[in-house]
Amino acid sequence: MQPTRKQTLGKESLPLLAGAAVGVGGVGAVLALADIGSPIRAPFTLFFLLVAPGAALAAALRGLDPLSRAVIAAAGAVVVDLLVSQGMLALHMWSVRGGVGVVTAMSATLFLLPLARRAYSRDGSCDSGRDAERQAP
């Protein structure tokens, strides 16, 4: 059975939508960090604050089915944003630029953790116990 035109179009447009989301989020982060007054600053920054940690969490949860991963990533994004804002309020250091910067750093760290884990497991340095078991008679 061949895919229909609608299914093919959906698969082809997915990278375009992902690129547009990255662009909108990046513009929102830049507008907030540069403190540029613009009518699109608030919605684009809000989009960045929800999508950046959500995408990072979704990348870390590769083993789950797509619906579970989406729900957990969305809830996790809200949790990351709330933890950052609560921490800034508790320390009396509230600022929009600081919040966006901390969320950016946390999202980048969450996004890079699975990559580091894969590189570490390919290196073989964490499999030393398994190698000893294989060589035992």
- Nearest CA among 49, 51, 52 for reference residue 97: 49
- Nearest CA among 48, 61, 67 for reference residue 111: 61
Residue 135 to residue 137: CA distance in whole angstroms: 6
pLDDT of residue 55: 92
Non-local CB neighbours of 81 within 8 Å, separated by 6+ positions: 49, 50, 53, 103
Average pLDDT, whole number, for the chain? Answer: 85
Residue 82 to residue 106: CA distance in whole angstroms: 13
Confidence of residue 121 (pLDDT cuts 50, 70, 90): confident
Its sign, for the CA torsion 74, 76, 82, 84, is: negative
What mean pLDDT do residues 8-31 have?
84
Does the pLDDT at position 89 exceed 60? yes
Q: Rounded to two decimals, what is the model's pTM? A: 0.75
Longest dimension (CA), the chain: 71
Q: Is 100 exposed, middle or buried (0-12, 13-18, 19+ CB in 10 A)?
A: buried
